[in-house]
Amino acid sequence: MSSPKNEPPLRDQLRQLDELIAWFDQDDFDLDEALKKFDEGVKLTESIQKRLSKLQNNITVLKQRFDQPSDAEKQT
């Protein structure tokens, strides 16, 4: 599935989120920078959640299509 315009691939967004989490795991960080990174993480998480929700909806639709009997199966 291609990425929406102006958005990096989902895999890149997840890697970026992992990097932000790792940054917070360090022992010493600047509070102002932490607030900026936290805001960035929130926005990134919201974007990822929207994209995952859309993917889940697409999968649900495909699953429903496969679960429905085809016209040939209905006639038998």
| Chain length of the chain | 76
pLDDT computed for residue 19 by the predictor = 97
Helices and strands in the chain, H and E counts: 3, 0
pLDDT computed for residue 68 by the predictor = 85
Return d(Cα 44, Cα 59) in angstroms, integer. Answer: 22
Residue 73: pLDDT over 60: yes
The string of pLDDT tens digits covering residues 8-58 is: 999 999 999 999 999 999 988 899 999 999 999 999 999 999 999 999 999
Q: Where are the domains of the chain?
A: 28-60
**φ and ψ of 53, to 5 deg:** -65, -40
Contact residues for 14 (Cβ-Cβ < 8 A; gap 6+): 48
pLDDT computed for residue 6 by the predictor = 82
| pTM (predicted TM-score) | 0.74
